[in-house]
Amino acid sequence: MKEIPIFFTFDNNYAEPAAVAFYSLLNKTKEGVFYEMFVLHSDITEEKQQLLLDIVNKKGNGKLTFIDTKGFLDEFWENGSFNFSESNSTFTADTIIRCFGAKFFPQYEKIIYSDVDIIVMDDISELYDIDLTDKYLAGVKNPFMRWSEHELSHLKPEHYEMLKDKYLAGGIWVMNLKKIREDNLEERMIDVIKDDTIIKRWNDQDIVNISCQGKVGYLPLNYISYPYMIDLLGKPDFISHYSREELYDSIINPKIIHFAASKPWNSNVNYSSLWWTIFNYLGLSKTSIFKEVELPYKKKFKKYKKLFKIALIILSILLLILILMEIL
């Protein structure tokens, strides 16, 4: 039996997306692989923990442990220069705790980290075999650096120069905990968090990329299959560090669908229906993070509603003029 440690960090609001992620991970895991799963958190209720434990235990090829991180990083979180204004995602202290796997998992030399806004589409156990010699961690290279100049425009010039062809996306990392400990990388990360002159627009990603100084490895793009990549590929001027083959392969043979921008619980993003199928299969309930998603025909109706209102106002004014004319 191959035992693979993997950890996740999220808050109570993300228990339902995590349930979908955990189920899909274990459902696609090949025989002979067993996941030691950990959740670093500070507020997940007993009830939600039980919900997730039940799903993992029922699958039988994973063991789930919750670790309360209460307090860790709180002071730095409040002091660090985090810039949310240009990001449409919500980040919490739980987001940056994912950089600190070496502290929380002293029993391991290597561990996988994964987001939970995902659907696992294939067995991903080979991730754990990647060679990390002299590398702090491996991840997927950000495919949008060349397309969107703005992507890294918040970085200091020296960081931009260092990272412009190397910047790792978040979502999935394989971390070399041994080397992170040997080189005290976590101290360097805390220095980056504390440094107010460094804008952490992409939070955990900026912290990790700046601290690792390019000592990173790369995973194939299909470990982060972006649901909107298919739309970008339709644009004649789309450019990327990845080849056309790699870009298409990430869509044709996805290992992990990562809802990095729009989420299936509040938009009609590609792959939403698969996500909802797993959600319904698991008998989950909608929570406060779920927004009513407008179906396309409803949007159309809304447009007509507006036109109807305008027509009504014009008619009323005409009627008023007629009445006034009558009086005069």
Q: Which residues bind Mn ion (CB under 5 A)?
A: 115, 117
Q: Closest by alpha carbon to 271, among 95, 119, 115, 70?
A: 119
Find the shortest distance in angstroms from Cβ 42 to Mn ion.
Answer: 19
Find the shortest distance in angstroms from Cβ 89 to Mn ion.
Answer: 8
The residue among 41 and 179 lying less far from Mn ion, judged by its C-beta, is 41
Which two three-digit tokens encode residue 174?
């394989």
The residue among 55 and 116 lying less far from Mn ion, judged by its C-beta, is 116
Return the ∠ at Cα 274 (arms to 263 and 143), rounded to 5°. 50
Find the shortest distance in angstroms from Cβ 115 to Mn ion.
Answer: 4
The residue among 16 and 117 lying less far from Mn ion, judged by its C-beta, is 117
Residue nearest to Mn ion (CB): 115
The residue among 33 and 223 lying less far from Mn ion, judged by its C-beta, is 223
Find the shortest distance in angstroms from Cβ 9 to Mn ion.
Answer: 11
The residue among 94 and 115 lying less far from Mn ion, judged by its C-beta, is 115
Find the shortest distance in angstroms from Cβ 263 to Mn ion.
Answer: 9
The residue among 179 and 201 lying less far from Mn ion, judged by its C-beta, is 201
Find the shortest distance in angstroms from Cβ 98 to Mn ion.
Answer: 10
The residue among 104 and 113 lying less far from Mn ion, judged by its C-beta, is 113
The residue among 117 and 206 lying less far from Mn ion, judged by its C-beta, is 117
Find the shortest distance in angstroms from Cβ 117 to Mn ion.
Answer: 4
Find the shortest distance in angstroms from Cβ 298 to Mn ion.
Answer: 28
Q: How far apart are the first and last CA of the chain?
A: 95
Q: Closest by alpha carbon to 111, among 63, 156, 59, 174?
A: 174
Number of neighbouring beta carbons within 10 Å of residue 12: 17
